[in-house]
Amino acid sequence: MTTKSDEKIRMPVNKVLGVLPDRKTADAAVMELIGAGIPGDSIRLLREGEANEDIAGRLGDKTGFFGHIFKLIEEIHSDSNVYLEQYRKAGREGKEVLAVDASSPEQVEVIRDVLQKLYAENVRYFGVFSIQDLSSVQPNVQPKKPGQG
């Protein structure tokens, strides 16, 4: 698990972010992710106020001039900064924020499944060109036809 507390999350790309209610649940999520094959160095757990400090986004400190311009353009075309503010707010409220690198669609699914099982909130995949809400995505379940048991 990465613990680079001085490293800001400025422009999340190929990351899944999610909010967990407390330390115990967050620690369980980290262990389950590692057990499911996600490399430990791909997982970053932001404890409570760390989320507010370390998720910079466009409005965060030390994003730099070009980072600020890039995020401004991106914000016009997406709600990324609004989403990042939700994670900062969760940290201010004492919740835990998990940021996990996802290098393939399969890893995104594994991360989503683990976080859904633990009732994580605001689970989103930040891709290169889009943001996908994973909180409400359910596994492919074929509906039963009337009369099937």
Q: Report pLDDT for 141.
A: 38
- Mean pLDDT score, 77-96: 86
* CA 77 remoteness from chain centre: 20
Residue type, 29: A
> Tens digits of per-residue pLDDT, 88-138?
999 999 999 999 999 999 999 999 999 999 999 999 999 887 889 998 654
Report domain extents, the chain: 15-133
Cα–Cα nearest to 119, from 26, 46, 31 = 26
DSSP 3-state of 13 = coil
Chain mean pLDDT for the chain: 80
CB contact at 8 A, 96 and 22: yes
Label the pairing between strands 15-20 and 121-126.
antiparallel
pTM given for the model: 0.76
